[in-house]
Structure 1
Amino acid sequence: MANNYLSISDILVSNEKVPCRFLHDLPKLGFLDPSCTEEDLKAGTSVEIPLWLAESLSSRRPPLVAVDLPKVYKETYREIFNADACTVDLHKLAQYFFELGCYVAKYDIKGEVATTLVNTFRQRFKMILSASVSTDSINALQPLSSSERDRTASAMASEKALSTWLKRGDSLLTTANMVANHRKRKRAEMEML
């Protein structure tokens, strides 16, 4: 997933904390680990840091951290999502589930995160559709993640515009002159043969 510098949602996603394990001793960075009493950060220490920082530290040569998957993308939650993703309240669990998943999928060696994201969206698509036409929009939007809410809001606006247009009734659909003339020409050509 490409970084979008001006996107507020992308900034919020990149600020999500991910678990990392430091691979080297780092002097004067003990404050990153709240349980650390020393001034230096020792190798092997696990700390949750923002995604933007984890990506920059892991892309260095040699890498300073090894990025682990957040708990919502690990095996336990993957089994829950595969069983029935519609029962999960993604807004409470991970507000930016799909966006963050796209970022951390590159740290998944087996490639199961990407598969889980696709399967989860497929299962939840009906729920998004029903929420877009629901009259009780507050309860329908409650379990949806941020991106799902954006898509539902767009679908609601489209549904409302369509129903308004259909109720207007003053602009009936008619055959365009070009199509009518084309049919006449085709008929004339067929009669000549």
Structure 2
Amino acid sequence: MANSNYLSITDILVSNEKVPCKFLHDLPKMGFLDPSAVDDDLKAGTNVEIPLWLAESLHSRRSPLVAIDLPKIYKDTYREILNADACTVDMHKLNQHFYELGCYIAKHDIKGEVANTLVNTFKQRFKLLLTASVSTDSIGSMQPLSASERKHAAAAAITENAISTWLRRGNCPLQTANMVANHRKRKRAEMEMF
């Protein structure tokens, strides 16, 4: 996880999300990873959901021990729904860290469709995000947003408030900076010389 932020709580939560993996080799004494296993050993070909941080480290070895599969929220069925109308999807229920997890998973997507879905989903949901940032009903508008969308909407609401407050003050009109005024005078003097 070279692009991870070591001190980010969000990154820690994302890296603890479970992803489906297929083990490529027999692993002795690792049967406890598969709850349905009857042996102490984990056999090659076994499909198990393990945390992303463990899957990444097992996959990045010179001889990979696992093949990481796409979680169901990034597979064709959900991609079709998100590409059709992403604004109808409740991201909070689907996955709170949809975009962050998608960034990690995108490098394991051979077709490259996960990255396109992330971009298209954000483009479609941008208007919803703007509405949530200026809405007076903050609870209702924030409900279907993912954790990162909520963070961006809250930051946009703070900025919107600051701009509104500044515009309402109205007692400090904008003035030309001295540097700009002096520059104009110098230019005029140079033009008069010719």
* TM-score, structure 2 normalization: 0.94
The residue number in structure 1 matching 2:136 is 135
1:181 matched residue in structure 2? 182
1:94 matched residue in structure 2: 95
Matched, 1:150 2:147: no
How far residue 122 of structure 1 moved from its aligned partner, in angstroms, is: 0.8
Unaligned runs of 5+ in 2: none
Letter in 1 for 2:76: E
Q: Deviations over 1:71-96 (max 9, x none)?
A: 01111111111111111111110111
Query: Which sits farther off after the overlay, 173-182 or 68-77?
Result: 173-182
Other structure's SS at 1:107 match: coil
State yes or no: 1:9 paired with 2:10.
yes
Question: Aligned with 2:107: secondary structure?
Answer: helix
Instruction: Give the deviation of 1:170 after TM superposition.
Output: 2.6
State percent identity of aligned pairs.
76
Aligned counterparts of 1:190 and 1:123: Cα–Cα separation in 2: 53
Q: Deviations over 1:17-69 (max 9, x none)?
A: 00001111111111111112222211111111000000001111221111000
Q: Who is 1:68 aligned against?
A: 69
The aligned amino acid for 1:125 is F
Residue 167 (str. 1) matches residue 177 (str. 2): no
Q: Does 1:32 align with 2:33?
A: yes
Deviates more, 1:60-69 or 1:163-172: 163-172
Q: TM-score, normalised by structure 1?
A: 0.94
CA distance in 1, matches of 2:175, 2:189: 22
Amino acid at match of 1:100: L
CA RMSD of aligned residues (A): 1.4
Amino acid at match of 1:85: A
Give the aligned residue type for 1:45.
T
Q: Could you list the runs of 5+ residues in structure 1 that have no partner in the other structure?
A: none
Q: Aligned with 2:19: secondary structure?
A: strand
After the TM superposition, which of the residue ranges 135-144 and 164-173 deviates more from structure 2? 164-173
Rounded to whole Å, the distance in 2 between the matches of 1:35 and 1:143 is 35
Aligned length: 193
Deviation at 1:191, TM superposition (A): 4.2
